[in-house]
Each structure stands twice: as structure tokens, then as C-alpha cells.
Structure 1
Amino acid sequence: MIRNFALVAAASLALGACGDSFDPSSIDTSTYGAGENWDNPGGDWAESHFSRLEEITPANVGELGLAWEYDLGTARVQEATPVVIDGVMYTSGNLGRVYALNAATGEELWTFLPELDMQVNRHACCDQANRGVAVADGKVMVGALDGMLYALDAETGAVEWSVDTVVDHARGYTITGAPELAGNLVVIGNAGAEYDARGYVTAYHVETGEQAWRFFTIPRDPASGEQENPELEAALETWSEDTRWDIGGGGTAWDAIVYDPEFDQVIVGTGNGGPYPQAIRSPGGGDNLYLNSLVALDRESGEMNWYFQETPQDNWDLTATQPMTLAQLDVGGEERPVILHTPKNGFFFVVDRETGYAHAANPIVRTNWADGFDVETQSFNMTMDQADYSQGPKIVYPASPGARNWYPAAYDPTRDTYFAQVLDMGNLMFLTGDPSEAEYQEKFLNAGAAIIFTSDLQAAAATLPPPLRAAIEAEDSWQWVLDQPFSSQLRAMDPLTGETKWAVDGLGWQDRFGVLATQTGLVFHGNSAGTIFARDSNTGEELWSMETGTTIMAAPMTYSVDGVQYVAVQAGWGGGGWGFVPGYSAAYNKGFTNRLLVFRLGGGEVAVPDDLPPLEPAPAPPEQLEGVTPEMIAMGNALFTENCTMCHSNQPRAPLPDLRRMQPNVHAGFDQIVREGLFVMNGMPSFGDRLSPEEVRAIHAWLISVQGPLRERELELQRRGLPLDSQSLTILSNF
């Protein structure tokens, strides 16, 4: 599980100048938490999301009000935490937009929108997310969705340099994470493991953009030649001889990169295997290093210091790419430098930053891929009989959205408490075909498994084929589904034991959010309904809240300008499952206008958007296409599910159009939109290279076939005086 590579002499793949003028001791690690400035999306050198500022306290937090707000100019996902340096706020939005604002007034100083081919939406699995910027040496660095890394002049927003980080444009690489500043280097990873990517991280010189080194996180096909990094030769032994190298393998580092100045190393969290089933990816098994691992790399050379694999033999999309926090903890009477990490897999890890040794690994949700971790042997007690779905469907805990995901946690060292939103949910997983016959789909989803979340499984079970339903109801974990399909909570936890000190229930499993903690004893967070809260750090008691009318997922942050403390949060719906908007969210009820909200003591009220107007019944569809058969409509349904549902959830309240409600002009131009890219500049990619005219015609025929019945049901609801929502449609079906 753990190996130290400190004595490895061979260099990683390194290009460009290797001279180093950065002194790691110049970073003061004796002070924990952010002060007046919030230097990076995590706040301080430890990326703790913890503040030392003292103006806002439990005694006066009730006086908080709006200082200013800024319209982000987009209806798409907002996951970034702003950076504030010397009174200027820098933050990013979807696609890799950047905003520079006066942090005291909200005055816009400049904005940046990268030029990119919107065809990139075809292989962005979880919306157009971007999680922040890095600021250093008068430059603001941001990754764009298409894989370009930009360095912008901090005063003007002009591009100083840009570099293409993608090693192979024939594969589905994107960037969704924030760049990580590591001294005189900036480090960035890529997303795309669900598609056909092979993971890596790259370090560039801040001054010039010249590449310093690149580290691949999994091996390549040995038939292609020697491995790029010497550490990959050892990793190769953990992959089977029959590995499907052509598909990519996964391991992408789409988030969770942190620089540790105490050991002058970059710690990278790596992603899931691609495809998900090991039976396809690496038939015959193996731990498949360095999937789902923490990998510590020497900042200057890119050589590996150590690794720790958090989920061996990954079959379940249980990534290790969730945000890390650096800390010092008393472990058995000895003060140790550690990483606090709560990845998708349901365990809370305390890992030594010097050695990679796991001092603790405690489950914080239900898990059935492993039922424990042995600290002495540094190994998991794997329970593959409960979680290996290669021989039949299995209900696996936790689910692929993870016990934790991209939304940051906060660590308060004064209370030794870790605050985080935690999701306890599973999913049914089963193969979608014979693993030995899996076909590689270039630059497209290669997941290889179907997933149904336990939040929906009881209802979905009735629609499944009887053999599949019988199989899942025979599972021991079926009782878990019946007892509690899911639990979503904000928790205060002890890092070394994982025990919960207090918890507050969320609105639903999609109610996910980042957290800010302060030395004065406050915890700030938002929720999907658009409320921002301040809670007592010791008890979880609500001390202040304000309705904003805009869904909040990103982590709040705090800073000070001229002695005034502000609390800021970026608000907007999106991310994984972004097309499926829950009815309890502000996005569903009030729409998708996104904004940056900044609060101070003595501020005013937030202008809450009006509720969206009632839905109108779907328009009448055109006449069905000539020559359409039931078989053609069935094919269209399947093709829509495979190609379109990632973005078009066909819900009445969603970021992108419900295609069951198309107007006549859209029906008329359907083929030009889907195959010829008529709306590419609006974000709708062309599928001309993937779908034949006959297949597009089948999709269109299916949409026409469902639009008419939808209209009739909604007209009936209207006649009965009921709102046009899913609950009313369910009521109607019972008449």
C-alpha cells in the first residue's frame, strides 16, 4: 500500500530549464490559517479553509449583511473559491473565465474569457467546472476547459503566456481543477478518466510557462517502449498482461494537488480507473498503481518520494482527487506532519507527509468494498464478495458521487476539528456487456458499467427486469437501501478517529457544499436552496443565515481590507449530475443566474430572485417522420440515453433545454444542430463524427413520439389546476 521512493535516482520526464531559485523555507509554516489575504483557493499554505481573522465572531455574526454582489454573467457551474491579495479579488468561473474585482467594493477591474472550441463539451463529464486560480509574481494562472493553461497579467488580464497541457488531442482530456503554485512552478492536472484519458500532472515555470517536468500516474502499454517515469516500471507489475491500454486506463488528477513546503514536495491525488470495471481495464486483477492514490513528488525534479493507494483494485470510481489539508497532529504522543484526506471511498485518512504512512484510516460512511484498514500492515480488508459486480450486479457503498467529493472541507487546529459535508449513499453497479468484448470508443464515454443510486433504487427496482431485481433484492446490502437510502450531512469530525462531534442534515443527496471555519468559532456554508449559514463550531447551532435565492455549492472564504472583514461565496448550480436539478434547489425554483456574494457586518439584504413562472404545457410536436417504425423509435431512445442525457436530462427545470419541448424551428433544424454543429458556439457540440444521419433521425423520431404524450399529460394537469412538475405527474398517474 505504501512505498518510499526517496532513493530513486533516475529523473522523471523533464523538459526545459531545471535551475531552481526558490527557497521553500521562505513560506512561513509556523502560522496556520489565512489572515488578511486569502492566498489560494484553500486559503493558506496548508489549504485549510481556516481563517485567523477575528472581527466576525459568534457574538456579532447576526449583524452580517450584503456588502456587494457581482453578476458572473453565466448560468453554468460555480465551484471556485476566490483568492484575495492586497485588496484585489481574483476568481474563476465555468470554462476558465477569470474575474478581477476590487475586494472592498466589487468594482470590476478586468475579465478574461478563454477562446476555446465548444466541441470540448462532448468530453466534459461533469459540466464546465473550474475550481479556481493561482496567483504569483504578478500573474494569475487558470486552466481552461480545453486543456490550455494561461498566465494573465494581474493588473490588466492580458495573456503573458499560455501552454497546451494536453498530450494527445485524440483523447478526451479537459481541465476542471485549479492550478497549484509550488514555489517557482505551477502544477496542473487533467480530467477525462471516464472517457479515454491516461492521467498525468505537469509542472511549468511561473515566469515563462516552460515545462519543468511531467509525471504520468499510471503506466503505458509496455509495447510502446520504456515507461516515462522510473516509478512506473514498478507500477506496471500491478497491472495485468491483458490490460486494455488502448482505452486509456484513467488515473487523472482532476483536482486535489497541494504543495507541501515543509518537504518541498507536490502531493497529487489521482483518479479512478477507466473503464470502471477492472474486468475490462485489467483482466486478472492487480492493485493498478497509481490509481486512487496520494503520490508525493519532489517539487524540483518530479521524482516520486512516496505513494499511498487509498482504493486498491478500483472498480467503483472511488477517486482520491478530493481536496487535501496539511496539518500537524499529535499521533501517539509524537507531533507529526500529516495530510487530512477524505476521498470518495468512505474512509478518513491521516497520512504522514514525510513517509506516506497512514496513521489512521476510519470509515465515516457505510462501506462494503472494504470493512476496515490495518494500520500495522498498511492494508485494507477487502470485501470483494460484496462489491465485485463482474459476476453479477452488486449494491456498492459508498456510491460513485463519493462520501466526499470536490467541495472543500475545513480544519480548525484550535479545536482539532474537521468540518465537511458527507454523503452516505450507495449505488447498484452492473456490467453493460461482456467484458471481453468491450469496444473502445474514441474520445467518448468508456465507463463500462451502469449505475443506479440507492436514493432512487427502490423506485427503479420495479422497472428493472425480474432477474436483475431478484438479484439485487437478494443482496445483504439491500437492507441498507430499505433502512436508509442515503444520508447527507454537514459533520464536525475528529481526524484521528473519524468520530462525529455534531452533524446537521442536508436537504437531499445533491445538497453538496464547501465549508469555511474561523478561529473565532464559526463555520460558514451554503446549501442548494440558496441559504448561507454561520454555525457555532463547537455545537453546530445556527447563529445566522440569509436567503440568497441562488444555489450555493462552492466554499465560502474570508479576507480583510482596511480593517474590515468580509465573507465571500460564489453561487451557482452545476457540477456532477448538473442536468438533474432537485426540486428543493434555488436553481429549480428561481433559475440559473449566478453571482458572487460578499458580506460584512452592517451590510444589507440580498435581492432574492422571483420564483420562476409556472411551466406551460409542452408545445405540440410536428407530424412524425415518414417511415418510422417502433424499432426505430426504440433505437432512438437508446441512442439518446447513450449520447445526450449527460447534458439534456429532459427535465422541465434544467440548465439546458428539455428536448421534449422543442419548438417547430428547432425540430426543423434538428439534423443541422446535431450533426452539422449549427449551435457549436452556443455550447452544443456536433455529433457528426459519431452519429449517422439514420441514427440522428431515430433520436428525432423518439423525441417526437414522447413530446405528444407529455403535452397531453400536462394539459390534463393544467385542467385540474395542478402545477406542471414531477409530483403532479405522479398524482395524475394514480387517477
Structure 2
Amino acid sequence: MRKRLWAAALAAVAVFCISDLRAQGLTPEQMKAATASTNEQSIIQNREATKNWPSYGLDFQETRHSKLKSINAENVGKLGLSWSTSLESRRGVEATPIVINGVMYVTASWSVVHALDARTGKELWRYDPQVPKDYGYKGCCDVVNRGVAVHEGKVYVGAYDGFLHAIDAATGKMLWKVDTIENRAMSYTITGAPRVYKNAVLIGNGGAEFGVRGYITAYNVADGKQKWRWYSVPGDPSKPFEDKSMEAAAKTWDPAGKWWLAGGGGTMWDSMAYDPELDIMYVGTGNGSPWNRDLRSPAGGDNLYLGSVVALKPETGEYVCHHQQTPGDNWDYTSTQHVLLADLTINGQPRKVWLHAPKNGFFYVIDRTNCQFISATPFVETTWAKEYDEKGRPIENPGARAKDKPWETIPSAYGAHNWHPMSFNPDTGLVYLPAQGIPLVQQPVQQWQYNEHRPGSAMSNLGWNLGFLFNTVDPTMKPYGHLSAWDPVAKKEVWRANYVSPWNGGTLTTAGNLVFQGTADGRFIAYNAKTGEPLWQTPVGSGVVAAPSTWELDGEQYVSVAVGWGGVYGQMQRATETAGPGRVYTFKLDGKGTMPPLVQRAPAELVKGVAYKPEDVAPGLGLYVSNCLFCHGVPGVNNGGNIPNLGFTKAEVLKNSPELLLNGAFVEGGMPTFKGKLTEAQVTQIVAFIQGTADAVRPK
């Protein structure tokens, strides 16, 4: 009887879902037919005409160059909204919309997957991986997700809490999930988009700020069973090495630092690319853990494979070769930024290369057949190194590794180019690169212990392990952001579009001689790809950090972008007075859709009237830095991003902070409970610093 009731309930749910989908234009059967044939071969074939956008970077080479040209430099001014759909998200949206035969898949914050009818934008299903909200503090850079992979009727998403989910592409039903985290005592996350190569789902993890060991893992597409795992740094040298690449890497680390206790870092949290002809995949690796090399490897050393692009065999995970861009990383110069593959003529010779612009400010051209160094050229001001020698090693500024004084790192840890994807147009020969500068001064910590709460040491009470203090003196650099059209052969910038702020979105380029990019100040813009002339723009209600995609359906070209301000910089800062929720916008020529109304932010007023003891302000500063800084910014100085600046909070909130923080009142918003981390007296000191700072800046 119980089985019959259960079967009847399932049948009723199925009928409801199918009826709901039919009312919106697509049935599960149509969705299944649209996605069932998406696989390695179809992605390769799609590259000929690029009518679909079937993978994160469009193709395996991650070029983000579409051959569609119905929308072009001559008619782009006629673009209008086709439709827009709310993602019902107030945190960062970093995903590139995947579109296959009229079905769109896009993720919002907290790793929620939305399946949309690409014709209308109507939601077909939604999949929430149910990431616990109290897990939010375990990531450095907002509760974001960069998208999904689709393969033969399945959608794969890496959830923020480290689980890889396989979902039925037609119904949104979970098929399986697997825990990718090998040590739950450490703060691993997933924010990147998976890729599928050789019938395996590839995903890495984040967490090097906290202290983890980086790795990338391949899982069988059918059932999630692990096929292989490759580590980016060696483990405890007293134990057997996993492979020869780890044995070689261990020679570049000093065991006196016991780096394996903090994991060593090297997390592979974003970029991947694949060359089907060479059958080699390429993955960027992250920063050291802790950041300060003198603490993790006191005798120095290159610390392989930090700050590198590594070539692996996708079938087995076997190491092939690598190029390390930042030997002995000391500045959080990750190499996890977008890697794209191109065929270029250099010095009269055809070369198969990868192109890369990581955080450290140099643009790299590397032979992808053997990882041979070709060139590295600064694309922004760099003070840590001035150039690279013929062997591909940086010539560092002697002061860049200052051991006992502040050093203004240019670029800073925010990166000259962060995760925001770049694109390559073979017609113009140019790479379209979101470049930026964000000021930061680093000063080494002289006495450091793993997982020690040190007031004044950024976020150390929430598990951050950096080994540096920040902005102990004021930076001299001013923040900036621009779009750079970079010639990788001539090694120079061809044109530039300047912006009012850093942290602008990823780029898309097309055969229609166009470049599309969203901006931090809430615009979506089209440029002439050859000249940089702005040709069209529209407001989109919020700062844009994600990269757009373009696709064709029923002979008509569309351009889509997911909008939602956030990320590590966007948590604290913003460049708009609007605060629209996460949303997908889709445009076409002569589109007649109505843009949604702009949501204005409420006027911000500095908090006042909270009583405090002046002697609590100084200790409150140290506690604020070690618990609050990288989410809430400097009270009353930063204007607040997608997380409120506490200098502009309500007095009632500050007065009740001890009870609110220690009882977990804000956990559902992603803020941790501080029970067991702070005492009531310490919270009172933090409140004193917030109110005291607000009082100090009010006259200014």
C-alpha cells in the first residue's frame, strides 16, 4: 500500500512538472532532446559555426569568440531587450549562461541552478543544492558560482560547500552528488565551473587563504566515481609521494616551514582549457598557504606548482609540463585566471600557444605543446618585477620581498586581472582583457602560527592564514579599471576603454567585429573590436562581473549576460547607486522588451547615538580587522558592496550586536555565528570601533 501511494505521489509530481513546463513552452522531452547529444564531439563541431554556447568558455580552447555576425558593428545600435529574468539573488552572480538548442542554464549565488526557456526567459526548473548558510564564511570571495557543464542530458554544478552535483537536464532532478573535499576540517569551497573532458567531470577547489592543499579531480560522468586526482603541491614529505611530479615539487620547498600543516595552497579554483588534438588539458594553480613564503618555506625555493599553468593528460591526470609564472609566490599572485588557447604566427613561425594574464600583471605567451616560454610582458604597472629573462623567470625588484617593513604591492592581491574572463578574436588578433588596479600594502607578520586568532591580522578569527598585515600605511596607488585590447604577438596594448572603477565584467568577442563587456557602474557595452569605439550601451541595474554569451535560435542571434554585483571586491565596494537583484538580460536586434525598473539604494546615513567607551576603540579595531574587514569594509569609509558597511547600519543593530552575533541571528544571510569565537566584551569593543570611526569620519 505504501509503495502504491509513493508511486502515485511521484506520478502526480511528474504530471505537475510536465504540465508546468508545457505551459511555458518546453517539455522535459524537448529539453532532453535539446541536451542529450551535447558531448565532446558536439562541442568540437559547434566551433565551426558557434550557434550554441555549450561550455563555459564557448569552446574547449576557451576563446569566447563567436562566429555569429548577424549582430555586428554596423547594426549593434539597434539592440533591444528580448527578455529578462530575475535570479532572486542579492549576492554575486559570476556565471556565463550556457545555451543549447533553446535551453539556457545559469547559476546564481549559493550555487543555485536555473534552467530557462531561451526564447522567453521563463524558468523551467530550479535546482538548489541547499548549501548551508553557515558555510558562507569558509570562502574568501563571496558565495558565488561561475556556471555549469552540460554533457549528454546531465547538468553538473560544483556547489559552494564542496559537493559536485549531477542533475537531469530535462527535469532538474538530482542524479548523484559526490563530496570533493578530502579533509572537512579545512575550509575548502567550490566557486568555479566544471568542465567535461574524456567522459570525466573536472573540478578544483578554493581555500588557499584559509590553509588547504590544492588539487583537481576527475569524476566519471555517469556515476560520480573518482577517476583521478592531481595535487598542485606536495604533501607531508615523510609520507610517500603521489607521483613523480610531487617528488620533483618537494625539492622546491623547505620542510622547516612544515607547509603541509597549512596545506601549502595552490588551489585550482577556476581556469581550465583543453586541446583535443594534443589531448592535453591546462589548469591554472593558485597562491601559497600561507601567503608569506618566509613562513611556509623559510629557506626560499620556487614552491612548485604554485602560481603556474600545468598541462595534464585528461584521461589519467598524468603531469605533462608546466610554466611557473610567479616562483615562490609571496603576494597572492594566483595563476587561476582565464587560460585560452590560440594558434599564432610568431617570428614567422606558426606556434600553438596558451595565452594568460594572471594576477601578477604580465601577459604570457607559452608554447602549449611543451610549456616552452615565449614571452611575458607587463600589461599594467608592476613593481614586484620589471621583466622576465630568456628562461622565463621574473627579474624581481629587490624590495618586493621586504621582510620587516610595509610594501605596496603593484599589482595587489586583488590582481591586475582577476577571474573575469578575457576573450580572443582571431580576426583582429587581439585579446580583450579586463585590467585593473586596487591599492594594498602588505607587511610581514613576524610571529605567526597556523589557525591563530591574532587581532589586527585580517580575518584570522575566521580561519584565514595569510602571514601579512595590510594597509599599516596608506597606499599611494589609486584604484582603476579598464578594458585593454592586447596584441599578444606585438606584445602591446592597441586600445583601451577606461572605467570609473575596478572589478568590471568578463568579455565576449564576435565575428561581427564586436566586443561586449559589463561594467562595475552598471552598464552593458558593445565596442568596435578593431578600434575600441563604443557603439551601444544600456543600464542593467547593478554592477556586472560575469562574462556574456551569444547564441543563435531559429536563425536569430541573441546576446545574454547574467548580472549581480559581488565577489571579493564587490562585497565591500560598489560603483552604482542601484541595487537590482541578480538577473539575466537577453538582447536581440529590434528587441521590444521592457527593461525592469532600476532599484535605487536607500540613502546611507552614518550610524550615531550608540554609547561606547573611548578606551574600547583601539582593541575594537584589532578585533574588527580579524573578524569583519574583508566582508564589511572600513566603517563609514568604504561605501559597502553587496554586504552592508557597518558604519551605515542602524543604531539598534549595533546596540544589540552582542546578542545578535553570538546567537547567529544573521546566519541565513551567510554571516557566521561568533559564539565561541568572540566574547560579549569583545563584541562591545568592535561596536566601539564602528561607532567611533563613524563619528570620526562624519565631519569629513
Select between 388-397 and 277-286 the one with higher mean Cα deviation. 388-397
1:315-714 mapped onto 2 (5 Å cutoff)? 315-375=330-390, 377-383=391-397, 385-424=398-437, 427-434=440-447, 439=452, 444-452=463-471, 457-458=475-476, 481=477, 485=478, 487-508=480-501, 510-582=502-574, 585-586=575-576, 589-604=577-592, 606-616=595-605, 618=607, 620-621=609-610, 623-624=611-612, 630-649=614-633, 650-651=635-636, 653-660=640-647, 662-663=649-650, 666-667=653-654, 669-703=656-690, 705=692, 709=695
SS of the residue corresponding to residue 555 of structure 1 reads: coil
AA of the residue aligned to 2:428: R
Distance 2:349 2:595 in 1: 48
AA of the residue aligned to 1:577: Y
Note if contact 1:33-1:51 (Cα within 8 Å) is conserved in structure 2: no
Note if contact 2:57-2:63 (Cα within 8 Å) is conserved in structure 1: yes
AA of the residue aligned to 1:496: V
Note if contact 1:331-1:359 (Cα within 8 Å) is conserved in structure 2: no
Match of 1:470 in 2: none
Note if contact 1:581-1:654 (Cα within 8 Å) is conserved in structure 2: yes
AA of the residue aligned to 1:567: V
Distance 2:535 2:503 in 1: 20
Distance 1:277 1:699 in 2: 27
Q: 2:90 aligns with which of 75, 81, 84?
A: 75
Distance 2:554 2:548 in 1: 20
Note if contact 1:50-1:410 (Cα within 8 Å) is conserved in structure 2: yes
Q: CA deviation at 1:337?
A: 1.9
Select between 611-620 and 258-267 the one with higher mean Cα deviation. 611-620
1:190-205 mapped onto 2 (5 Å cutoff)? 190-205=205-220
1:368-423 CA-to-partner distances (Å, cap 9, x unmatched) read 32222233x2333233x131121322232222111211111110112211111112
AA of the residue aligned to 1:147: G
Q: CA deviation at 1:706?
A: 5.3
Match of 1:235 in 2: 249
SS of the residue corresponding to residue 403 of structure 2 reads: helix
Inter-CA distance 617–645: structure 2 relative to 1 (3 Å threshold)? closer
Distance 1:616 1:513 in 2: 29
Q: 1:296 aligns with which of 311, 317, 321?
A: 311
Distance 2:409 2:656 in 1: 43
Distance 1:221 1:613 in 2: 52
Match of 2:24 in 1: none
Distance 1:80 1:206 in 2: 21
Matched, 1:99 2:99: no
Q: CA deviation at 1:668?
A: 6.2
TM-score (ref. length: structure 1): 0.84
Match of 1:216 in 2: 231
Q: CA deviation at 1:705?
A: 5.0
Q: CA deviation at 1:333?
A: 2.9
Inter-CA distance 33–352: structure 2 relative to 1 (3 Å threshold)? farther
Structure 1 alignment gaps of length 5 or more: 1-21, 459-480, 714-728
Q: CA deviation at 1:27?
A: 6.4
Distance 1:653 1:302 in 2: 42
Distance 1:615 1:382 in 2: 44
TM-score (ref. length: structure 2): 0.88
Note if contact 2:480-2:500 (Cα within 8 Å) is conserved in structure 1: no
Inter-CA distance 631–612: structure 2 relative to 1 (3 Å threshold)? closer
Note if contact 2:439-2:475 (Cα within 8 Å) is conserved in structure 1: no
Distance 2:230 2:431 in 1: 31
AA of the residue aligned to 2:674: F
Inter-CA distance 663–305: structure 2 relative to 1 (3 Å threshold)? same
Structure 2 alignment gaps of length 5 or more: 1-36, 454-459
Select between 360-369 and 552-561 the one with higher mean Cα deviation. 360-369
Inter-CA distance 111–438: structure 2 relative to 1 (3 Å threshold)? closer
SS of the residue corresponding to residue 305 of structure 1 reads: strand
SS of the residue corresponding to residue 295 of structure 1 reads: strand
Inter-CA distance 296–553: structure 2 relative to 1 (3 Å threshold)? same
Q: 2:159 aligns with which of 144, 159, 162?
A: 144
Distance 1:695 1:388 in 2: 34
AA of the residue aligned to 1:457: P
Note if contact 2:604-2:648 (Cα within 8 Å) is conserved in structure 1: no
1:222-276 CA-to-partner distances (Å, cap 9, x unmatched) read 13x1122331111000001212321221101111122221222221100011111
Distance 1:366 1:33 in 2: 38
1:13-92 mapped onto 2 (5 Å cutoff)? 26=41, 32=47, 35-92=50-107
Note if contact 2:92-2:142 (Cα within 8 Å) is conserved in structure 1: yes
1:596-629 CA-to-partner distances (Å, cap 9, x unmatched) read 11100011352341533434563643x55xxx6x
Note if contact 2:607-2:647 (Cα within 8 Å) is conserved in structure 1: yes
Distance 1:247 1:432 in 2: 16
Q: CA deviation at 1:698?
A: 2.9
Inter-CA distance 426–498: structure 2 relative to 1 (3 Å threshold)? farther
Inter-CA distance 704–536: structure 2 relative to 1 (3 Å threshold)? closer
Distance 1:443 1:222 in 2: 28
1:664-695 CA-to-partner distances (Å, cap 9, x unmatched) read 66456533432232332232211223223432
Match of 2:18 in 1: none
Match of 1:6 in 2: none
SS of the residue corresponding to residue 135 of structure 2 reads: helix
4+ aligned runs moved over 6 Å, structure 1: 440-443
AA of the residue aligned to 1:374: D
Inter-CA distance 64–227: structure 2 relative to 1 (3 Å threshold)? same
Q: CA deviation at 1:539?
A: 0.4
Inter-CA distance 397–698: structure 2 relative to 1 (3 Å threshold)? closer
Note if contact 1:216-1:229 (Cα within 8 Å) is conserved in structure 2: no
Distance 1:393 1:422 in 2: 25
SS of the residue corresponding to residue 681 of structure 2 reads: helix
Inter-CA distance 668–632: structure 2 relative to 1 (3 Å threshold)? closer
AA of the residue aligned to 2:463: F
Match of 1:188 in 2: 203
Distance 1:635 1:443 in 2: 17
Q: CA deviation at 1:172?
A: 1.1
**Alignment length, in residue pairs?**
653
Note if contact 1:49-1:410 (Cα within 8 Å) is conserved in structure 2: yes
Distance 2:396 2:78 in 1: 51
Note if contact 2:606-2:649 (Cα within 8 Å) is conserved in structure 1: no
Once superposed, what is the RMSD of the aligned Cα atoms? 2.6
Match of 1:286 in 2: 301
Q: CA deviation at 1:29?
A: 5.4
Distance 2:691 2:394 in 1: 51
Note if contact 2:566-2:641 (Cα within 8 Å) is conserved in structure 1: no
AA of the residue aligned to 1:643: N
Match of 1:474 in 2: none
SS of the residue corresponding to residue 685 of structure 1 reads: coil
Match of 2:19 in 1: none
